[in-house]
């Protein structure tokens, strides 16, 4: 297990470096001058040149990348052009809210997905299966930002039960674990949970179907095992793949939260990314994407290791 973990970690290093390279290059595929956001329209040539030197844009690209990477390794992702504050602290503060949203959505989506998937897989081609499969396919086909809007229309505009936007009463940034604050989490979390629910349902349904049609299940039943015992074997066999899919989905929720956070003005990393894009705040854009991508890589690594821990066959291959 240790050898496998070490090997996996070594494999991740080139990925991390290439991710950093892609994030670095993002700023350089932008059309126009990266300084356009800070530079006043009537800035003199000297001021522009001065700022270019200050930000290091006058150096050759490989040198810039080296310097940027070196600073990034020390936790310095530069400072936001719009606010002047360090990018890393801005991102980290926002990421907390995104993690909270993703975890809440995962609890809803994974629970329902596992439930629907197991039921549908067990009762294949019955009406229960048809209902669960339809719910799942609707879940993966929904434009989730639109679902968010529809939920706001129903529960905020028409019924006036839940708040439409924000993460706390009065737009305050401080979070507290009480009903007043949790009310704000309900709609975004449900909206986020729909896609993972659909994907987990579909995966678990297919897995359960495959496992139930294998010979060993026949053997277990022939041996006289109770159906609850057989079920335990099915779950154990489905667990590694289901776990991998859920890990990936959690990563997608963390990294792909921008649309939902925009709909609900949820103050997470997605909303930060949104403002970085529209204020042309390139260091913030770069930093946010780098942090989110690294989270995703780390999560994939943890899932791989966890998968190998519960399924010894993976280590051997």
Partner 1 sequence: MSIMTDAALQAAPTTKARGYWSTVARRITRDKVSMACAFILVLIFASALLAPWLHLADPYQGSMIRRLRHIGAPGYPLGTDELGRDMLARLIYGGRLSLIVGILPVILAFVIGTSLGLVAGYVGGKLNTAIMRTVDVFYAFPSVLLAIAISGALGAGIVNSIVSLTIVFVPQITRVAESVTTGVRNMDFVEAARASGAGPFTIMRVHMLGNVLGPIFVYATGLISVSMILAAGLSFLGLGTKPPEPEWGLMLNTLRTAIYVNPWVAALPGAMIFAVSICFNLLSDGMRSAMDIRN
Binding interface with partner 1 (CB under 8 A): 14-15, 18-19, 22-23, 26-27, 29-31, 137-138, 140-147, 149-150, 152-153, 157-158, 251-252, 254-256, 258-259, 262-263, 273-274, 276-278, 285, 289, 292-293, 296-297, 300
Q: What DSSP assignment string belongs to 128-147?
A: HHHHHHHHHHHHHHS-HHHH
Distance CA 128, CA 91 (A): 44
Residue 198 or 220: which CB sits closer to partner 1? Answer: 198
For the CB of residue 138, give the shortest distance to partner 1 in the complex, in Å: 6
Residue with tokens 């040149």: 49
The span from the CA of 171 to the CA of 185, in Å, is 13
Residue 271 CB contacts under 8 Å (≥ 6 apart), including other chains? 94, 258, 261, 262, 265
**214: alpha, beta or left, given left = phi > 0 and alpha = psi -120 to 50?**
beta
Shortest reach from residue 186's CB to partner 1, in Å: 18
Q: Minimum Å distance from CB 33 to partner 1?
A: 13
Closer CB to partner 1, 162 or 225, in the complex: 162
User: SS3 string of 270-306?
Assistant: HHHHHHHHHCCCHHHHHHHHHHHHHHHHHHHHHHHHH
Burial tier of 284 (Cβ tally within 10 Å: 0-12, 13-18, 19+): buried
3-state secondary structure of 63: helix
Cβ nearer to partner 1, comparing 200 with 230: 200
- Give pairs for 58-62: CB < 8 Å, separation 24+: 61/28
Name the DSSP class of 86.
Answer: B
Cβ at position 192, least distance to partner 1 in Å: 12
The torsion defined by the Cα of 120, 123, 128 and 132, in degrees rounded to 10, comes to 10
Which is closer to partner 1, CB of 230 or CB of 264?
A: 264
**Of 79 and 286, CB closest to partner 1:** 286
What is the smallest separation between the CB atom of 259 and partner 1, expressed in angstroms? Answer: 5
Give least dist CB 98 to partner 1, A.
Answer: 11
Cα→Cα distances 20→14, 67, 300, Å: 10, 12, 17
d(CA 131, CA 284): 44
Q: How far is the CB of 35 from partner 1 (least distance, A)?
A: 15
Quick one: 146 or 161, whose CB is closer to partner 1?
146
Sheet strands (E) in the chain:
none
CB nearer to partner 1: pick between 38 and 220: 38
> In angstroms, what is the minimal distance from the CB of 22 to partner 1?
7
């Amino acid at each position: 297990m240790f050898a496998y973990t070490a090997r996996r970690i070594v494999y991740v290093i080139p990925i991390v470096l290439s991710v950093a390279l892609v994030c670095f290059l993002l700023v350089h595929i932008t059309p126009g001058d990266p300084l356009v956001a800070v530079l006043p329209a009537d800035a003199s040539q000297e001021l522009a040149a001065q700022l270019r030197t200050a930000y290091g844009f006058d150096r050759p690209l490989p040198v810039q990348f080296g310097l940027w990477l070196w600073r990034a390794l020390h936790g310095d992702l530069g400072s936001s052009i719009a606010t002047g504050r360090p990018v890393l602290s801005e991102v980290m503060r926002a990421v907390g809210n995104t993690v909270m949203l993703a975890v809440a959505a995962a609890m809803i989506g994974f629970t329902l997905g596992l439930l629907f998937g197991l039921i549908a897989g067990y009762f294949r081609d019955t009406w229960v299966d048809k209902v669960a499969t339809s719910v799942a396919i609707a879940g993966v086909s929904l434009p989730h930002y639109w679902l968010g809007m529809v939920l706001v229309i129903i529960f905020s505009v028409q019924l006036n039960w839940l708040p439409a936007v924000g993460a706390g009463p009065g737009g305050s940034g401080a979070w507290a674990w009480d009903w007043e604050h949790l009310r704000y989490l309900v709609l975004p979390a449900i909206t986020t949970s729909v896609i993972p629910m659909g994907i987990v349902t579909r995966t678990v349904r297919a897995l359960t179907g495959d496992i139930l049609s294998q010979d060993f299940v026949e053997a277990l039943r022939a041996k006289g095992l109770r159906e609850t015992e057989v079920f335990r074997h099915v779950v154990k066999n489905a667990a590694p793949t289901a776990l991998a899919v859920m890990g990936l989905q959690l990563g997608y929720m963390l990294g792909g939260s921008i649309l939902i956070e925009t709909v609900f003005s949820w103050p997470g990393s997605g909303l930060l990314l949104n403002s970085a894009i529209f204020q042309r705040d390139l260091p913030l854009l770069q930093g946010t994407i780098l942090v989110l991508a690294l989270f995703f890589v780390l999560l994939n690594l943890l899932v791989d290791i966890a998968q190998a821990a519960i399924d010894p066959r993976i280590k051997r291959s």
